[in-house]
Amino acid sequence: MNYTIKEIPAEERPYEKCIREGESALSDSELLAVILRCGTRGSSSLKLANEILNHMKNSSYPGISGILHISFEELRKIRGVGKVKAVQLKCIGELSKRIARASAKPALSFHQPESIAAYYMEQLRHQEQELMICMMLDNQNHLLSERMISKGTVNATLVTPREIYLEAVRCHAVSLILVHNHPGGDPAPSGCDIDITKRILQAGEILGIRLLDHIIIGDRSFVSLKEQGIVG
């Protein structure tokens, strides 16, 4: 692995292998090497890719998924990763989230909690703090807007019915769906989640703007408070 790409036999080089066998035949390190394009002096992009993945082994998210969690500053600590390569790696992670979201969008149905969970899953399940998103709908259940309502711990002091319904009125929404994540991976609603949901539901009944559901995203799992009977 100390060879430069030119010193690696042609049949083992990531570019040639991809052309010959297809991208699915490449290992994680080979895929990274193709995107990084070049390594450092006397060291191939393949060696650099392996060093990046080895660095992830010591993190809470080992393997290729670590790219979604590692900070820009932490990436810069890896030998051979400068500003440009750190940006490339962070953009790979963001691109993977957007591809997953775009793939889920055609199946998005506001009457099916599983489709909403699939739409937000890759965006939210990797987050290390709680985010709350408000989906605002018109009277034909078309999505008017998505707004980030809260970033941090979702509790009664940070999320209030007032700020949610101010956004809803600005967008002329007639109904809402709330989505937020649990960084620990367990989507089971807390007492605080239930309390906030009930307060928002009651405020919406007064204003004539319905809360259709509150969906909590975990790690490849979700809970719909509508399905649990908390949102009627």
pLDDT score recorded for residue 157: 43
184: left (phi over 0), alpha (psi -120 to 50) or beta: alpha
Per-residue pLDDT tens listing for the chain (232 residues): 444 555 566 656 888 889 999 999 999 999 998 888 877 776 788 888 999 999 888 777 788 888 988 999 999 999 889 999 999 999 999 999 999 989 998 888 999 999 999 999 999 998 888 999 999 999 998 999 999 988 876 554 468 899 899 999 999 999 999 999 999 899 999 999 999 999 999 999 999 999 999 999 999 999 999 999 999 7
Residue 41, burial from CB neighbour count under 10 angstroms (0-12, 13-18, 19+): exposed
pLDDT score recorded for residue 10: 62
H or E segment to which residue 58 belongs: none
pLDDT score recorded for residue 197: 95
The pTM of this model reads: 0.77
Question: If you compute the radius of gyration of the chain from its CA atoms, what whole number of angstroms results?
Answer: 22
CATH of domain 5-101: 1.10.150
Across 177-188, b (16+ Cβ under 10 Å) vs e yields: bbbbbbbeeebe
Distance, CA of 209 to CA of 165 (rounded, Å)? 8
Distance, CA of 75 to CA of 168 (rounded, Å)? 39
Query: Homologous superfamily of 108-224 in CATH?
Result: Cytidine Deaminase, domain 2 (3.40.140.10)
Task: Count other Cβ atoms within 10 Å, centred on residue 226.
Answer: 18
What is the distance in angstroms between the CA of the first residue and the CA of the last residue of the chain? Answer: 59
Report whether 102 contacts 95 (CB < 8 A): no
Report whether 204 contacts 165 (CB < 8 A): yes
> Is residue 118 classed as helix, strand or coil in its secondary structure?
helix
Residues of the chain with CATH 1.10.150: 5-101
Task: Count other Cβ atoms within 10 Å, centred on residue 114.
Answer: 14
Residues of the chain with CATH 3.40.140.10: 108-224
pLDDT score recorded for residue 230: 93
pLDDT score recorded for residue 6: 59
